[in-house]
């Protein structure tokens, strides 16, 4: 049993913290939302009244917050996490944030003697509830080894990606691939429609040909070929277009800082921005098929 502090008990953090409780850990959690705190308490967690209280309660402290600005504020703000955690506490940020912030906060943590890992996840709310998340972890090997048993209570695949910031780098590179490949698959289905080629026939052929990829065979963006894909339930998420846009923007930010050429990533971000600005941000990201094929919504 490990004493764990958990800050950010939202759609992802809530079920992740609940799985830690289920695994027998003593979890003290905090969220600015009273409703999130109530759900956490109902799942057997101990509700704290501040970040400082949750931080001071743990040998390991996990954060799951919306974006980089929240992470900076929660860790380095006055009276916050870095000022409240006990000496020797291991800090783990599982939020998806920019690489620069991840490295800066880890550096500030190291300056106060704390080990810190960036450990963003993939697998969505379903993976968080089922404890089947994939963790992509950046930081020192000794901290990674220490985090393993805690992360194993929330996820199935746990990969040490390299030094600080590498987890975030892996996450945005993967999601840039996904955003681009989804648009590629959608364009092909939109062209097929114009050419009078049946969508199921294109699927049957491409699923066994060189166009094969996850966006096609697991998450097909047109209704029919893959019954479990969001296309068959009016594109209910899944993974929203808004979240895809967030990750594509993080990839663009990182590409600019690092001087990498990512022209298709830039186009993917622009297309998702159009879709989100058009009011479809809450739809699954595969609904970009509707946008590209000239359908509404």
CA distance 13 to 16: 5
> Using the rule CB under 6 A, is 239 a contact of ligand NAD?
yes
CA distance 57 to 86: 8
Residue 57 is a binding residue for ligand NAD (CB under 6 A): no
Among 18, 57, 65, 254, binds ligand NAD (CB under 6 A): 65
Determine the 3-state secondary structure of 24 from DSSP: coil
| Residue 171 appears among annotated catalytic residues | yes
Q: Are 118 and 168 in contact (CB under 8 A)?
A: yes
Q: Which stretch binds ligand NAD (CB under 6 A): 8-16, 20-28, 106-114, 281-289?
A: 8-16
> Contact at 8 Å (CB) between 255 and 210?
no
Using rule CB under 6 A, residue 168 touches ligand NAD: no
Residue 124 in contact with ligand NAD, rule: CB under 6 A: yes
Q: Is 12 in the site for ligand NAD (CB under 6 A)?
A: yes
Choices 122-130, 144-152, 159-167, 193-201; region in contact with ligand NAD by CB under 6 A:
122-130
Interface with ligand NAD, residue 13, by CB under 6 A:
yes
# residues contacting ligand NAD (CB under 6 A): 28
9 is a contact residue toward ligand NAD (CB under 6 A): yes
* Binding to ligand NAD, residues 77-96 (CB under 6 A): 95-96
Residue with tokens 């277009």: 241
Element housing 6 (H / E): strand 3-7
Q: Which stretch binds ligand NAD (CB under 6 A): 2-10, 161-169, 252-260, 264-272?
A: 2-10
Alpha carbon 14 to its chain's center? 14
**Which run of H or E residues covers position 11?**
none
Which lies closer to ligand NAD via its Cβ, residue 90 or residue 97?
97
- DSSP-assigned states of every residue in 186-207: HHHHHHHHHHT--HHHHHHHHT
Greatest Cα-to-Cα distance within the chain, rounded to the nearest angstrom: 66
Nearest to 117 by CA among 61, 178, 36, 188: 61
β-pair partners for 194 = none
Residue 162's φ and ψ, nearest 5 degrees, are 145, -160
Q: Which segment (5-13, 191-199, 254-262, 274-282) binds ligand NAD by CB under 6 A?
A: 5-13
Residue of 3, 26, 32, 211 interacting with ligand NAD (CB under 6 A): 32
Q: Which of 46, 171, 194, 283 is catalytic?
A: 171
- DSSP-derived secondary structure letter, 222: S
Q: How far is the CB of 10 from ligand NAD (least distance, A)?
A: 2
Query: Which residues here bind ligand NAD, judged by CB under 6 A?
Result: 7-13, 30-33, 36, 51, 64-66, 70, 73-74, 95-96, 121-122, 124-125, 239, 243, 246
Residues that are catalytic = 171
């Amino acid at each position: 049993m490990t004493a764990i502090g958990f800050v950010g008990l939202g759609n992802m953090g809530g079920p992740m913290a609940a799985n830690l409780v289920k695994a027998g850990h003593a979890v003290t959690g905090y969220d600015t939302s009273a409703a999130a705190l109530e759900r956490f308490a109902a799942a057997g967690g101990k509700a704290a009244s501040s970040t400082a209280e949750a931080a001071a309660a743990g040998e390991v402290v996990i954060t799951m917050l919306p974006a980089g600005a929240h992470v900076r504020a929660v860790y380095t703000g006055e009276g916050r996490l870095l000022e409240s955690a006990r000496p020797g506490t291991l800090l783990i940020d599982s939020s998806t944030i920019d690489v620069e912030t991840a490295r800066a906060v880890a550096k500030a943590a190291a300056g106060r003697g704390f080990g810190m890992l960036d450990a963003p996840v993939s697998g969505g709310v379903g993976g968080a509830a089922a404890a089947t998340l994939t963790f992509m972890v950046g930081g020192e090997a000794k901290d990674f080894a220490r985090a393993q048993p805690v992360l194993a209570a929330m996820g199935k695949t746990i990969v040490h990606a390299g030094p600080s910031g590498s987890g975030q780098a892996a996450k945005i590179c993967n999601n840039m691939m996904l955003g681009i490949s989804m648009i590629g698959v959608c364009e092909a289905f939109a062209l097929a429609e114009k050419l009078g080629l049946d969508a199921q026939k294109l699927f049957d052929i491409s699923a066994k040909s060189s166009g094969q990829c996850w966006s096609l065979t697991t998450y097909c963006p047109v209704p029919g070929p893959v019954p479990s894909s969001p296309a068959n339930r009016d594109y209910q998420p899944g993974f929203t277009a808004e979240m895809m846009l967030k990750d594509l923007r993080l990839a663009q930010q990182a590409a600019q800082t690092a001087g990498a050429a990512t022209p298709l990533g830039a186009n993917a971000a622009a297309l998702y921005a159009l879709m989100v600005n058009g009011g479809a941000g809450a739809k699954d990201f595969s609904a970009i098929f509707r946008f590209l094929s000239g359908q509404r919504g």
